[in-house]
Amino acid sequence: MADSSAKSYVTYCAVLAFLSSVLTFEAFRQNSWGKWKKNSAVSNCLPLPPPIGCSELYGTRNVLDAQDTDFAWLALIACILSLCTMVTSVLMLGNPRLAIVTSQYTLQPKTLLWAYLTAASISFLTCVIATFRIGVVASQRRKQGVFAVAGVSAVNSTSYYFSAIATLSSALAAYVITLTSQGESPSCGKLSKTVKQHIARNLMYPDDQRSTKMVTFSSMEQSMEEVAAEICVKAVVKYGLEEDIAEHIKTTFEARFGQTWHCAVGSNFGSAIHHITNEYIEVSMPQVSVLLFRCSIPNSGDHDVTTHATSTDLT
pTM of the model: 0.57
**The most confident of 118-132, 196-210, 244-258, by mean pLDDT:** 118-132
Q: Looking at 137, 156, 181, which one is the last position of a domain?
A: 181
Q: Is the pLDDT higher at 70 or at 50?
A: 70
Q: Rounded to whole angstroms, how far apart are CA atoms 7 and 15?
A: 12
pLDDT over threshold 50, residue 183: no
Residues 95 and 49 in one domain: yes
Residues 103 and 242 in one domain: no
Q: Is the pLDDT higher at 247 or at 204?
A: 247
Q: Looking at 181, 216, 248, which one is the last position of a domain?
A: 181
pLDDT over threshold 50, residue 80: yes
pLDDT over threshold 80, residue 216: no
pLDDT over threshold 80, residue 247: yes
Range with the lowest mean pLDDT among 19-23, 70-74, 79-83, 153-157? 153-157
> Measuring CA to CA, which residue among 257, 277, 311, 305 is closest to residue 291?
311
Residues 113 and 219 in one domain: no
pLDDT over threshold 90, residue 307: no
Q: Please count the structural domains in the chain.
A: 2
Residues 89 and 16 in one domain: yes
Confidence tier at 119 by pLDDT (50, 70, 90): very high
Give residue 230's domain range. 191-313
Residues 45 and 172 in one domain: yes
At residue 233, the pLDDT reads: 87
Range with the lowest mean pLDDT among 107-111, 121-125, 130-134? 107-111
Mean pLDDT, residues 57-62 taken together: 65
Q: What percent of the chain has pLDDT over 90?
A: 25
Mean pLDDT, residues 171-194 taken together: 62
Range with the lowest mean pLDDT among 47-56, 101-110, 160-169, 185-194? 185-194
Residues 86 and 32 in one domain: yes
Q: Looking at 155, 181, 207, which one is the last position of a domain?
A: 181
Residues 9 and 128 in one domain: yes
pLDDT over threshold 50, residue 162: yes
Confidence tier at 188 by pLDDT (50, 70, 90): very low
Q: Rounded to whole angstroms, how far apart are CA atoms 176 and 183?
A: 13
Q: Is the pLDDT higher at 313 or at 37?
A: 37
Residues 23 and 172 in one domain: yes
Residues 252 and 129 in one domain: no
Residues 15 and 95 in one domain: yes
Mean pLDDT, residues 229-255 taken together: 89
Q: Rounded to whole angstroms, how far apart are CA atoms 107 and 234?
A: 30
**In the predicted model, what is the mean pLDDT of the chain?**
76
Mean pLDDT, residues 236-264 taken together: 88
Q: Which residues contact 123 (CB under 8 A, 6 or more apart)?
A: 20, 24, 74, 75, 78, 163, 164, 166, 167, 170
Q: Is the pLDDT higher at 79 or at 48?
A: 79
Residue 95 lies in a domain: yes
Q: Is the pLDDT higher at 48 or at 118?
A: 118
pLDDT over threshold 70, residue 305: no
Residue 186 lies in a domain: no
